[in-house]
Amino acid sequence: MLNLVLFGPPGSGKGTQSNNLIKDYHLIHLSTGDLLRNEIAEGTELGLKAKEIMAEGLLVPDKVVIGMIKKKLENNKAAKGFIFDGFPRTVAQAEALDEALTSMDAHISGMIELKVGQEELEKRLLLRGTESDRPDDADIVVIRKRINEYISKTVPVAEYYKQQGKLRSVSGMGKVEDIFDSVKELVNSL
Ligand code: AP5
Ligand code: MG
């Protein structure tokens, strides 16, 4: 199995690069943000709880996202591998993911970190806010809160994988295709 973690701050291109990777590597794309937005669109109990937290730019509780990911892993046992996008976002989530994969006789092959400066992140997200219906992109205060959540709670996850020798970093600035070439090079070296 090839199991990748796509890592980086809000707006760094995790979703964009994941969509390219799944085509070339035939992996299953698991974005906890997309899964949560589906729950909101379907009006489920989980979605109702997550909606306000997401609109504020804060992380939803670990238990909720870990439960969602475990269900997806159980339902896709024959998969060639997974791309985890926007997950794990806390060390507790990373530990839970390792545990779940170990029970499937699998492991994380590597983490790809997309490095993008704050000014560019804010520019990309504000632009998307004008053309999409993601409420968390519409307000610079919320965008900055998401970036702060990333710095305080998610950055330690990179250290978690670094200690396992699995962290690979690449610049996420520039053209999407050029970044994809660099990402592929890293994936092929795993
Ligand atoms: P989530 O959906 O994961 O959002 P995010 O991390 O804030 O990141 P984005 O999806 O905005 O950015 P991205 O890195 O995927 O970049 P993208 O490719 O879209 O999470 C949303 C919320 O859900 C969280 O705030 C939290 O509340 C909750 N949540 C989710 N997972 C959770 C978890 N595990 N634990 C707890 N809570 C969780 O690109 C962004 C934009 O830039 C796009 O418009 C794109 O077209 C553009 N773009 C991409 N690449 C480039 C480029 N190279 N040049 C110019 N523009 C580009
Ligand atoms: Mg995304």
Sequence-ordered alpha helix ranges (H) in the chain: 14-25, 32-42, 45-56, 62-75, 91-102, 118-131, 140-149, 155-163, 176-188
Pocket test for ligand 1, best of 60, 119, 181 (most atoms within 8 A of CB): 60
CA atoms of 155 and 90, how far apart (whole Å): 8
Q: What is the per-residue pLDDT for 50?
A: 96
- Spans of the chain below 70 pLDDT: none
pTM of the model: 0.97
Q: Which pLDDT value is given to residue 169? A: 97
What does the pLDDT read at residue 133?
81
34/13 Cα distance (integer angstroms):
14
Does 32 contact ligand 1 (Cβ within 6 A)? Answer: yes
